[in-house]
Structure 1
Amino acid sequence: MIETRQQGAQPLVPQELGSGGGGGVVGEAVAVDLGGGRVIFALLSGPEGRSIYAMVPRVLNYPDLKPPLSRQFKLHEWQEAYDEAEDVKPFAVLRREDYPMLVSFGDLGNPKSVGAVNPDMVGVRRITLQVTDDPVTTGIEKRLGWLGAYPESRLDGVYRGDTGMPLARRLSNGDFRMEPI
């Protein structure tokens, strides 16, 4: 389970829209055991580095959200949308553009062995989002013993990186686990 939360009085607005609002993600990447020692992780970020925090408000406006919220919410009304979603507990099948980044490791003990996973190549048929009261999951460090606290260096040990760099340089511990602020 991953939790997104609003902090302070500012409205919740997706980060890629330049929000000054406070909020974020608490939780950890979802690990899916494919058998044969292969595990994929659904990260706390999307393929372009978008946070799950920025994706949730879009999903709450999906027309096929079940049960639907009372109306479509505007950008400045995201706290209202979150409040209503807490009561309604909606469920949605994510659109492909809202999928989290999926990765696996050639060696779970070596963070530099990380590689992107194409959902189609591992048989992912759908990814869902469900608003729930269940507790946030913990324990990812049992699978990834090298996982440290956030903030930290990149998986390859270098702090700086950009999208033109190898995946291990672009990803960090914060893509796998975020703790309460």
Structure 2
Amino acid sequence: MTPEGLKTASSVTEGSWSMAPTWFKIGDSGGGPGLGSLRGEAVVLELEPQRYLFALQDYSALTAFYAFAGPDFRAGMRQDYIAMLARIGAIRDSRTLAPKHYPLLVTFDDINNPASVRRVDPGNLASTFGHGYRLNAVTLSITHEPVTEGRVDNVLGWLCDYKSKRLRLSGQTGPIGDRILANNVGSGDFKNDECE
């Protein structure tokens, strides 16, 4: 919600799930629950000219898995995951995420300066953007639409340069353990497919 009314944005990402072979056992798991991955780009919402809110791809395919599996699903054996994945594959629906499952929300004080990235509190958008800004909901939907491409590139013209050099938004490389957001967010949080 903005002072001018409701604004929405979306992005289609591709989630995939791979199961370890049954011969790869850890305890009684029979191959384990598997691993999920995402391909696509962050959600970009232009709140007003040159002021954007980004919902980063810092979540995993597990977020979607548990959103659609529901609160009654209990992680268990390999066959439990296989059965639930088959049920989820038939769903064409949306789910509202609980705030604890929200992706990291960020903005930039200067959209042309990667190091000006700033965390946005989903429960208090007004503290970042001003009076009248509020987050209504974050939803996930299962769709057959193609993966969204180009929206992030259109806003963050510098992103592919950072991606090709494997830079954090601070301009640094490699793992950095401090609490500065620009040192811990990289281009892959905005877009995890290749740049052209």
The question of whether the paired residues in 1 share the 8 Å contact of 2:19 and 2:33 is answered with no
The question of whether the paired residues in 1 share the 8 Å contact of 2:69 and 2:88 is answered with no
Once residues 33 and 182 of structure 2 are traced to their aligned partners in structure 1, the CA distance between those partners, rounded to angstroms, is 29
Residue 161, structure 1, aligned to residue 176, structure 2:
yes
Instruction: Rate the CA distance shift 1:103–1:79 in 2: closer, same or farther, 3 A.
Output: farther
Instruction: Rate the CA distance shift 1:174–1:80 in 2: closer, same or farther, 3 A.
Output: farther
Q: Which residue of 134, 155, 159 corresponds with 1:143?
A: 155
The question of whether the paired residues in 2 share the 8 Å contact of 1:61 and 1:73 is answered with no
Residue 72, structure 1, aligned to residue 87, structure 2:
no
Matched residues, number: 160
Corresponding letter in the other structure for 2:181? L
Name the counterpart of 2:117: 114
Identity %, equivalent residues: 29
Corresponding letter in the other structure for 1:3? E
Residue 43, structure 1, aligned to residue 56, structure 2:
yes
* TM-score, scaled to structure 1: 0.77
What whole-Å deviation, never above 9, does each CA across 1:130-149 have from its counterpart, x for those lacking one? 11111111111111111123
Q: Which residue of 152, 168, 176 corresponds with 2:166?
A: 152
Q: Which residue of 100, 114, 122 corresponds with 1:97?
A: 100
Q: How does 1:48-63 map to 2 (within 5 A)?
A: 51-63=59-71
Corresponding letter in the other structure for 2:107? S
Query: What SS does the corresponding residue of 1:119 show, helix, strand or coil?
Result: coil
The question of whether the paired residues in 1 share the 8 Å contact of 2:55 and 2:105 is answered with yes
Corresponding letter in the other structure for 2:191? R
Once residues 151 and 105 of structure 1 are traced to their aligned partners in structure 2, the CA distance between those partners, rounded to angstroms, is 21
Residue 4, structure 1, aligned to residue 15, structure 2:
yes
Instruction: Rate the CA distance shift 1:109–1:26 in 2: closer, same or farther, 3 A.
Output: same
**Bigger radius of gyration, 1 or 2?**
2
Deviates more, 1:75-84 or 1:107-116: 75-84
User: Which 5+ residue runs of structure 2 have no aligned equivalent?
Assistant: 1-11, 23-31, 126-133
CA RMSD of aligned residues (A): 2.5
